[in-house]
Structure 1
Amino acid sequence: MRIDGLTAIVTGSATGLGAAIAIKLAERGANVVINFTKSKTEAEETAKACEAAGGKAVLVQADVSKDEDCRRMAQETVDAFGRIDILVNNAGGTKFADHNKLDDLDAEDFHWIYGLNVVGPYQMIRACLPHLKEHGKGKVVNVSSIAGVAGIGSSVAYAASKGALNTMTLSLARSLAPEVRVNAICPGFIGTRWFKDKFGDNMFQQIVADQEATMPLKQAGTPELVADAAVFFACEGGEHITGETLITDAGMHMGYAPQVAR
């Protein structure tokens, strides 16, 4: 599906999943805003890839946990392209902490993680809302996680924040309809450079091998595979769907009892 002339903001899109989403939207003709906080060189590379794919791209350095940065990003997008049609809330963060070691997390950790993973998306939606509503077909895609559905993942704070993001997706899907559709994707493992930097190459390769051996689909998640789910909501399948949380994890979620309550 072509979306020539439409404009998409993808937060946290210098590398990894955000970059893959931005490039796939550019391939379909979208103007894309590449958002970064520190990774300017990587953001410039992603912008070049978007332009090579057939779209137009601009860079905006901004921290989504800061409301003034969110409002500035929205304004710079309109200044550059005249409109905002798609918002992908991909930026986020975590702290690794075993779920049974409660002293490994404190209030500051929760505030920082919620600031990026929950407050940030809310502030971005609020800043972009007049423009998303303008043409009656605005689309928001929140990048959540299987952690927010099954209570697993890098830490209790991270899982809780993604659960909150899923609930916020439902709340805003109701309140912003019919002009704006709000959906979320819930990835499992994604094999990005972030994982490799965190665990080292040997452990990273072992995680990939374990995913390929144990997942029902015998696949390890990649940015490109997961990006397809975001693009589905952003342009190809979003016309008749709102308030949905789509799990994209090669079937990992089928091993967790909480799915009966989803």
Structure 2
Amino acid sequence: MFCQKCGQQVPDGSTFCTHCGASLAGGSVPTPTGAGPSSAPGLTQSMPPVAPVPQKPKSKAPVIIAVACAAAVLIGGGTVFALTMLNGSKSSGTQISMIDTGSSDEKDSSAKKKSDKSKSKESASSDDEAVPEDESAYYGSGDSDDYLTDVYTYTNDMHPYSMSIPNRFEMEDTPSGSGARYEDPETGFVINLFGYVNINDETSHEMFVNADTSGKADLYTAEGDNWYVVSWREGDTIIYEKTIVTDSTIATAHLEYSTANRDMGSKIIDTLLPTFQVD
């Protein structure tokens, strides 16, 4: 039989056309006996040709979107890379500029430090600004030399020797009465005085030659007509001894102070130690 819609031959008993899909219920033409498709030309020619159903063209939108995304990624990556290189170049250039020319902030800071140092020196050298007595620098730094003039004279009752001692030093008598020990409560500076009778008629030169100086660090010695000096260092402590020898008396001034108070020691040796004498 034939489909009345498209005119194509379909198997007998079919419900739908196998060519165009049209329903064959009441719409099919029986196939003439002994005739094939070519035996009914009139019928075939009388039926208008039916064009095949056009297929929907595939959309190109996914391809376009994929291409656009790839382009955006490439452009974004290139932009980030360019900005990174540009920032790195700027940072490098700034660093080189700072090394070559110097930062204005650093110059200002350096100038300020110099100004502060100058002001500090002026303040330290000013006589109008008093230095608190409860500071250790009052003794050791040289900011004030009051302890060199605010003194009293110690005279031993048993042996005829004496010396000027700063009033700030605290005194401790020796048990035998042959001397005295003074100590600065702020710096620990010690002045120890002691004397005894020259019963062996020794001379200062003999005692100087026989003085034990072996193995002493930073050894310093000096000798006069009736005196001699031996000085050395034990760790962070400086020891300075001056001994005066007369026909009747031998007296020694023993100074002991830390290396941190070296300046104070030098001033006492230069100013007060010359007052140490045997009458």
**TM-score, reference length from structure 1:** 0.24
Q: Which structure has the highest strand share of the two? A: 2
| Bigger Cα Rg | 2
* Greater RCO structure (CA 8 Å; 6+ sep): 1
TM-score (norm: length of structure 2): 0.23
Q: Which has the higher helix share?
A: 1
